[in-house]
Structure 1
Amino acid sequence: MDTMLEARLQTQQRNTQNTQETSLWSSGFGMKLETVTPFLGKYRPFVGRCCQTCTPKSWESLFHRSIMDLGFCNVILVKEENTRFRGWLVRRLCYFLWSLEQHIPPCRDAPQKIIENTGVQNVISGRVPAGAGEGQVPGLAKKEVQRILGHLQAPLCPFLLRLFSWALLRFLNCVFLNVQLHKGQMKMVHKAAQAQGLPLVFLSTHKSLLDGILLPFVLFSQGLGVLRVAWDPRTCSPALRALLKKLGGLFLPPEANLTLDSSEGVLARAVVHAAIEQLLVTRQPLLIFLEELPGAQGPRLSALGQTWLGLVVQAVQVGVVPDAMLVPVAITYDLVPDAPCDVFHALAPLGLWTGALAVLRSLRSWGHSPRVCVRVHLAQPFSLQEYTINARSCWGSRQTLEQLLQPIVLGQCTVVPDTEKEQDWTPATGLLLALKEEDQLLVRRLSRHVLNASVTSSAVMSTAIMATLLLFKHQKGVFLSQLLGEFSWLTEETLLRGFDVGFSGQLRCLVQHTLSLLQAHVALLHVQQGDLLVVPRLGPGLTHLARLSAELLPAFLSEAVGACAVRGLLAGRVPPEGPWELQGIELLSQNELYRQILLLLHLLPQDLLLLQPCQSSYCYCQEVLDRLIQCGLLVAEETPGSRPACDTGRQRLSAKLLWKPSGDFTDSDSDDFEEAEGRYFRLSQQSRCPDFFLFLCRLLSPLLKAFAQAATFLHQGQLPDTELGYTEQLLQFLQANAQEEGFFECADPNLAISAIWTFRDLGVLQQTPSPAGPMLYLSPTFTSRENQEKLEQFIRQFICS
């Protein structure tokens, strides 16, 4: 009886709490807050400058000087002023009239010109090895070319384009609060296209299936014409592909990925090359997604995106067009509109009926759920020809992760090799393998370079800032009054690091809007003091917050790497739970810091770091050290009894230099100075430093903890197994640990896959082909429990509790 009474009381309390929480969301938190003046708008950094090392001419000439003087526009806000007509009827039909006034450039005789292309004709006539002319009638070959071309693209339908633009405009106004675009960025792209007279190739990040429809609409509405969008055929059903091709979609034929000696593959590749050449010659803008869809199993860089980019690079190299202007593009959402797909299963193709039902569901929920904001970013255009010439000089020697890191993990070596890490998880498609090896390397590095520019130019949305605060600073809850101040603090820190934010307005309204978007993962509770307690929900809610917080990581990545490296350096000297004052006593030499930063850089996946290929790891180490000094975490310290590092007047000259004959310049004078002692640093003792240091370390904790738990799982997992099977095993282990220890942010399929692939590159796991797919098994070196523990200890030294 007592048990039943207790259960009934708990149920009543839970229902009362849920009722109070529901009333809080519906009443705007139910408390009065002071109105805060807008804290944005005074300083907004310019983002998206192209690389000065690889494209110095573009950096100087294609930059719009008055870009910051222009504001933002809401692309989906179409009024009577956007049409040539006025009146009460126009105000009700402005969407329809606006769609009628959009200019659609004609594109005539494109299929015939592709068939008459020299490369296609050489394959048909058999003048190319494995060509279609060997034993095949030219008339049949021409029909085969038309079939492949029909699979690749279709003629544009102006009526369908205008109808779709009108319907999409109404849909976007129902689903989104706004779609913001910087008018200065748009003007910069227009000026570059007009001044150079070259085709535009937009290279974008990929956050949602809606990107392939939203981005062409945004750029079409700004007068750039109809974009040709390179779609992934796996994501669309045949009926949807037919519709998208009429709207400008491009789909790679499956024959193009056949072996290099296949006659069907040779013909399909020739048709694809001819179609891309025709697009560039007629200056039709092209949109390529460089990222895989979120939730898809695989690397961050898209193999299909690299394939399309390789086609553009080859067309410029053979002289079809003298050059092409590459424009990095990024798109960010408060919340991604479509749900993430299951990472362990193939993406189900989206059909017409499925898409229509999703649209109806979105319209039906309109008014019941808060609408999200979208921001589209256009970085500075740059010349592909200029990048191709300059980038080749930045290529140096590289080694695998196994060569670089395994001897240090096992304690066999202490010196980090002076070379870069070679790590590429993106498989090469048939079209990319048809290029020369040097051109394949150029495409891979160009893809990483452009994706780095796109991510750097992405604005940080309010949900990413809120998720970071709740997950890494206040996982046990925080008062709303304190949360307001910390939201403002983290926003200013983001702006000071050269990253833009995708919101503005009054602080109270921003926080209320952000919490309402996250209400499925956040609970609001009344307290006696009249304040509100904001508590993140345990379980999958923390995993979702971790995915949102990853959008903020690029802004603090350098400091986070440096803080974890400092933690690793102090791990063997000071207990992790030791007081901050005790940790600040230790002297940290510059060489030791460089070594720890390099070790962590080698351990972290390349898809996370996205370092520019023209930037060496040692330059990045210096950047990390400079950032730690600038943010006040490290303070320079002279060692007792040593000469100050800036004192160059008392450097003694060697006898060799003193007696050198005049005019002898065979060696540098600087080589004969006595080598100055290394610099030393201490942790700052300012009151804010301990909290900020922990905050930076925790930004990388989901990934590092997942890696450490994957090392623990090595002696528990069932090997050999397929890669998919072992990933499921590891994910179940991470989820079980999350239930016991509360680290739900680590129970992410993407982190499990990253851990397995990193261990494969490190030589912990080895892979052999089999009929069921690649089989994984433990390498002989790591079958011993001792070496497994060494690997786990190596990873855990960078983790700060």
Structure 2
Amino acid sequence: MKAWFSDSGQRVEVFIPSRRWFRPLMGRCCQACTPRSWDGFYHTRLSSLGFRSATWVTEEDTRYRGWLVRRICCVLAVGSWKVLTNTPGDLLERVCSNKRVQDVAASQACGCRGDSKFQQQCKEKVLGILAGIQAPLCLPMLRLCCWALLRFLSCLFFSVQLHRGQLDMVLRAVRRKPGVPLVFLSTHKSQLDGLLLSFLLFSQGLGVPRVTVGNLTCSPRLRALLGCLGAVFLPTRVEQALSDQDGELPVAVLASYVEEVLRSRQPLVVFLEEPSAPWHLSGPARAWLAPLYRAVRDGAVPDILLVPVGIAYDRTPDRFCRDGAEPSAQPLGLRACLWAACRALCRCFGCARVDLAQPFSLQEFVAKSLICQSSMGKPLEELLPTILGMLSSQPDYSRADGPEHRMTTSSEAEEEMMVTKLGLHALSDAIACSAVTAVGITSALLLHKHRKCVRLSQLMADFAWLLEETLLRQHDVSFSGQLRALVLHSLAMLRAHLTLYHLAPLGDVLVVVKDSAETQWELSCHSTQIVPIFASEAVGACAIRALLLELLPFVGEAPCPSSITFSEDELHHKILTLLQLLPPSLLGLKPCQPLDCQSQDILDKLTLCGLLEAEEEGERYLCDVSSRRCRTPHWTNLDFSDSDTDSDDNHCKRCFRICEPKDSPGFLLFFCHLLSPVLATYVRAVAFLEQHSWPQPEHPMWSLVLSTLQSFKNIGVLKERPSPSGPLLHLTQPFCSSEGRRKLRAFLEQFMQL
């Protein structure tokens, strides 16, 4: 048992759970950033309330009983769902009377503020922008579509699971803070997510939410239908307005509209990522989070309760609407949606699971973040010298921006930093609370452990092992049942990419993975579910692989890995380098944690799971790959005794020896393979840099490779510059040459296990 005290003065304890199967309640909010929310909106009994399927409606969900009720219970249930709040009738007048809207309109009209003609023109402009953002709810159409969606989801999925304890936790938070609006910050796996979340929240008594629509281009008819069901859209070119001219009228109208939605206590759903660009905070998400932050900062609403939401599918209906067409090829029409829905009914997508994390207060999060801001960025000077092979001093990863820095920071930069931190924090929480599917576990085993073929009996044993490791790390799964049935169900979901052979003499089944790029892509997409769970061990394993690769030219024949000992500072250096490179939301890391704390946590987890064994400095070892002085973790300098002095000399330099856990053979190699698909995408992105002419226009819909280019932009490989046709991406000077790109490729490949 370890304990320390957080900045809020509360005692924080970390314990090692026992190895037994249990179903934890996930989604606790950050204790460091929101300590009051962590204590206030949770009860231990919530984990025992069990699950329910949102698509299973019986007469128990209505006020009536009888044989006729059992036949029309869906109609009666949908008719009894309550619309708690709606858009105010004088919304246009409220938006037009907003001071910021009037100031922006007056600045565009050259100061003719008191003119009646100007006021009429301003009202017409605001009306046009507001009509593009939202439409009034049509309750008859809403109930009709909810009934149709209930029947459709019942045919599409075996079940849509929702944890009763998580729902009760959100309802408790609403009752404890009456009058405070709810905002759901969700991951985005499919274009079906908006309809699914709207249906779930409406059916569970949370009201009809306003659901944000990201980069999806809709036809006028589909846009009108979605608008009357609660969808809200960003005004045209609002993302450019947010970054270039913060005072433009569409941005002001959007901010005023969000304030009115919050005042009327309508739930709001914001998707933090795009289905084509996972793990990255999307541009539309930033555009919606900025008005939320301003509303609390300016006092338009006293507080906002934020609820991260995780969505998991056995098979993601990612091509549900467009059937593989490019998202920007043409506007999505109503006829295309109906045809895609009819085709989807002929397929089986397994089960779906929606997880609601613990609500937390935005006002508390902002206040805490302004008091202690940690360095969540990735400065170029910390990673670029490592990529280019240049010597640099050891960066200080534990520093935080001091008060002097905050005083010189402009309000726009502070707002951008706060919105980014809030978005990344919520995205990490949403990914962490997402349940793992049986298809995800099976795909990870077939992709990272049994890459060619495996017997069904061995696959079942490995499935049980990986399931136990997942539950041990306090992550839930979206399934229950007999082991053989679960494995066969996941194989049925992946049957297009597998070949099964019955082994009659052994009474077993041989599972053969098809050798195709499509199979690798499908398994990779499913296996990313377990990456945040084992991210710390995977990063540490890749760092060990990179160090072993550096040793090979000096040791001749490949020695036994257990005979090699690494120094602590070299392990920290490799781990920190990889932490800077990969998106924190992919690794399940919170942006409020300094990098050196995350690195030390990774070393502790590797030691805990038996992959590393610590040795003191005086013990004999065969090879030390570093001659530099060991870096002392910042937490070892804390003095818990009554002494007034601390000394770095009291900290013993540690070394680590590679071990192989007896109960988990091949653990290290499995963890090395876990990040290979992501790193392989980075390597393919380097090839993309060499094959295309630059500058390149920044495409609004990032594919997975373009999402990797977004990471390259963060670390300084690419630089964005504005242009009349939109943002352009330029290669920075060190990577304009083929030698610089070769070094970048070699830097990435050192961590990748083929």
Same fold (TM over 0.5): yes
Q: What is the CA–CA distance in structure 1 between the aligned matches of 2:181 and 2:722, rounded to whole Å? A: 43
Q: Does 1:537 align with 2:533?
A: no
Q: 1:262–1:713: structure 2 CA closer, same or farther, 3 Å change rule? A: closer
Alignment partners' CA distance in 2, 1:268 and 1:591: 51
User: Does the Cα contact within 8 Å between 2:698 and 2:727 map onto a contact in 1?
Assistant: no
Question: What is aligned with 2:285?
Answer: 305
SS in 1 for 2:31: coil
Aligned to 1:377: 355
**Secondary structure of the corresponding residue to residue 533 of structure 2:** helix
Distance 1:98 1:671, change over 3 A: closer
What letter matches 1:295 in structure 2? S
2:305 to 325, 336, 340: 325
- What corresponds to 1:33 in structure 2? none
- Tell me, in whole angstroms, the C-alpha distance in 2 between the residues paired with 1:263 and 1:777: 23
Q: Residue in 2 aligned with 1:684?
A: 659
CA deviation after TM superposition for structure 1 residue 721, in Å: 5.6
Structure 2 counterpart of 1:288, one-letter code: V
Per-residue CA shift, 1:441-466, capped at 9, x if unaligned? 10110000001100000001111111
Go from structure 1 to structure 2 and tell me whether the alpha carbon gap of 1:694 and 1:132 turns closer, same or farther (over 3 Å shift).
farther
Aligned residue type for 2:705: A
What does 1:456-495 correspond to in 2, within 5 Å? 456-495=432-471
Partners of 1:630 and 1:676 in 2: CA distance: 20
> Pick from 550, 562, 587: which aligns with 1:572?
550
Cα distance in structure 2, aligned partners of 1:398 and 1:779: 22
Amino acid in structure 1 at the alignment position of 2:367: I
SS of the equivalent of 2:551 reads: coil
Count of residues in Structure 1 that have an aligned counterpart in Structure 2: 700
After superposition, the Cα gap between the structure-2 partners of 1:756 and 1:641, relative to the gap in structure 1 and judged at 3 Å, is closer
CA distance in 2, matches of 1:130, 1:441: 33
Match of 2:382 among 400, 404, 410: 404
Q: Which residue of 2 aligns with 1:155?
A: 136
Q: Which runs of 5+ in 1 are unaligned?
A: 1-39, 423-433, 643-666, 729-748
Alpha-carbon spacing, 1:441–1:206, altered in 2? closer, same or farther (3 Å): same
Letter paired with 1:379 = A
- The corresponding residue for 2:91 is 111
In structure 1, the residue matched to 2:671 is 696
2:73 aligned with 1:94, yes or no? yes
Match of 2:485 in 1: 509
- Structure 1 residue 565 displacement after superposition: 0.7
- Residue 425 of structure 1 corresponds to none
- Find the aligned partners of 1:774 and 1:253 in 2 and give their Cα distance: 18
Change (3 A) 1:193 1:543: same
Shift of 1:754: 4.6
- 1:559 counterpart residue number: 537
Q: CA deviation at 1:332?
A: 0.8
In structure 2, the CA distance between the partners of 1:259 and 1:502, relative to structure 1 (3 Å rule), is closer
1:453 aligns with 2:435: no
Q: What does residue range 726-741 of structure 1 map to in structure 2 within 5 Å?
A: none
Query: Which segment drifts farther, 381-390 or 85-94?
Result: 85-94
CA 1:230/1:758 → structure 2, altered by over 3 Å: closer, same or farther?
closer
Alpha carbons 1:131, 1:267 under 8 Å: kept: no
1:421 positional shift? 12
Deviates more, 1:197-206 or 1:106-115: 106-115
Distance apart, 1:134 and its partner CA: 7.9
Cα displacement string for residues 454-513 of structure 1 (whole angstroms, at most 9, x for unaligned residues): 000000111111110001111110001111111111111111111111111111111111
- TM-superposed deviation, 1:640: 3.8
Out of 691, 705, 722, the residue aligned to residue 717 of structure 1 is 691
Kindly indicate whether the alpha-carbon contact (under 8 Å) linking 1:344 and 1:724 is maintained by their aligned counterparts in 2: no
Quote the Cα distance in structure 1 between the aligned partners of 2:738 and 2:541. Answer: 30
Mean Cα deviation higher: 220-229 or 674-683: 674-683
Residue 174 (str. 1) matches residue 155 (str. 2): yes
What SS is found at the alignment partner of 2:158? strand
Corresponding residue for residue 793 of structure 1: 746
Name which of structure 1's ranges 259-268 and 169-178 shifts more when overlaid on structure 2: 259-268
Q: In structure 2, what is the Cα distance between the partners aligned to 1:90 and 1:570? A: 68
Residue of structure 2 equivalent to 1:735: none
Q: Which residue of the partner structure matches residue 31 of structure 1? A: none
- The one-letter code matched in structure 1 to 2:35 is P
Which amino acid in the other structure matches residue 87 of structure 1?
G
Say if 2:105 and 2:249, in contact at 8 Å, map to a contact too. no
TM-superposed CA distance for 1:142, in Å, is 2.1
Query: What is the DSSP-based 3-state SS (H/G/I as helix, E as strand, rest coil) of the residue aligned with 1:436?
Result: helix
1:554 counterpart SS class: coil
1:519 & 1:338 partners in 2: Cα distance?
Answer: 18
C-alpha spacing 1:635/1:385, structure 2 compared with 1 (3 Å)? same
Partner of 1:321, secondary structure, is: coil
Q: Is the 8 A contact 2:47 2:165 kept in 1?
A: yes
Distance 2:111 2:38 in 1: 43
1:751–1:147 Cα change, 3 Å: closer
**Larger Rg, first or second structure (1 or 2):** 1
C-alpha distance 678-381 of structure 1, shift in aligned 2 (>3 A): same
Partner SS, residue 207 of structure 1: coil
User: Is residue 2:539 matched to residue 1:586?
Assistant: no
**CA distance, structure 1, for counterparts of residue 243 and residue 739 of structure 2:** 49
Is residue 2:53 matched to residue 1:74? Answer: yes
Q: Does the 8 Å CA contact 1:258/1:265 hold for their aligned counterparts? A: no
Distance in 2 between residues matched to 1:522 and 1:188, nearest whole Å: 41
- How far did 1:558 drift? 0.5
In the aligned structure 1, how far is the partner of 2:473 from the partner of 2:434?
A: 13
Alpha carbons of structure 1 residues 525 and 459: separation in structure 2 relative to 1, 3 Å:
same
| Structure 1 residue 350 corresponds to structure 2 residue 332 | yes
Give the aligned partner of residue 387 of structure 1: 365
**Aligned position for 2:64:** 85
Match of 2:705 in 1: 752
Letter in 2 for 1:159: P
Shift in Å, 1:317:
1.5
Normalising by structure 1, we get a TM-score of: 0.80
Contact 1:132/1:264 (<8 A) preserved? no
Q: Residue 273 of structure 2 aligns to a residue in which SS? A: coil
- Secondary structure of residue in 2 paired with 1:533: strand
2:172 counterpart of 1:195: no
Over 3 Å counting, the alpha-carbon distance change for 1:672 and 1:532 in structure 2 is closer
Which of 465, 469, 472 aligns to 1:496? It is: 472
8 A Cα contact 1:133 1:141, kept in partner = no
Deviation at 1:530, TM superposition (A): 3.0
Deviation at 1:796, TM superposition (A): 2.6
**What is the DSSP-based 3-state SS (H/G/I as helix, E as strand, rest coil) of the residue aligned with 2:161?**
strand
Alpha-carbon spacing, 1:492–1:310, altered in 2? closer, same or farther (3 Å): same
> Whole-Å Cα distance in 2 between the matches of residues 639 and 255 of structure 1?
59
Give ranges in structure 2 of 5+ residues lacking alignment: 1-18, 401-409, 621-641
Measure the CA separation in 1 of the matches of 2:83 and 2:193.
21
Tell me if the contact between 1:327 and 1:382 (Cα under 8 Å) persists in the aligned partners.
Answer: yes
Aligned match for 1:226, one of 208, 215, 226: 208
Post-superposition offset of 1:172: 0.9
Q: Please list, as runs of the form range in 1=range in 2, the aligned pairs for 1:762-801 lying within 5 A after superposition.
A: 762-764=715-717, 781-782=734-735, 787-801=740-754
Residue 691 of structure 1, CA deviation: 0.8
Contact 2:101 2:249 (8 Å CA) reproduced: no
CA shift at 1:276, angstroms? 1.5
Identity %: 43
Rounded to whole Å, the distance in 2 between the matches of 1:595 and 1:765 is: 24
- The separation in 1 between residues aligned to 2:171 and 2:558, in whole angstroms, is 53
- Determine the C-alpha separation between the residues in 1 that align with 2:675 and 2:186: 25
Counterpart residue number, 1:30? none
Residue 316 of structure 2 corresponds to: 336
Amino acid at match of 2:159: N
Cα distance in structure 2, aligned partners of 1:235 and 1:695: 41
Q: Does the aligned pair in 1 maintain the 2:374–2:399 contact within 8 Å?
A: no
In structure 2, distance between residues paired with 1:116 and 1:571: 64
Choose the corresponding residue for 1:46, options 25, 29, 32: 25
Could you tell me which of 126, 146, 150 is aligned with 2:106? 126
The match for 2:634 is: none
Match of 1:185 among 151, 166, 169: 166
| Corresponding position: 1:521 with 2:474 | no
Q: In the superposition, relative to structure 1, how do residues 567 and 536 fare at CA in structure 2: closer, same or farther (>3 Å)?
A: same
Q: Could you tell me whether the CA contact under 8 Å between 2:533 and 2:588 is conserved in 1?
A: no
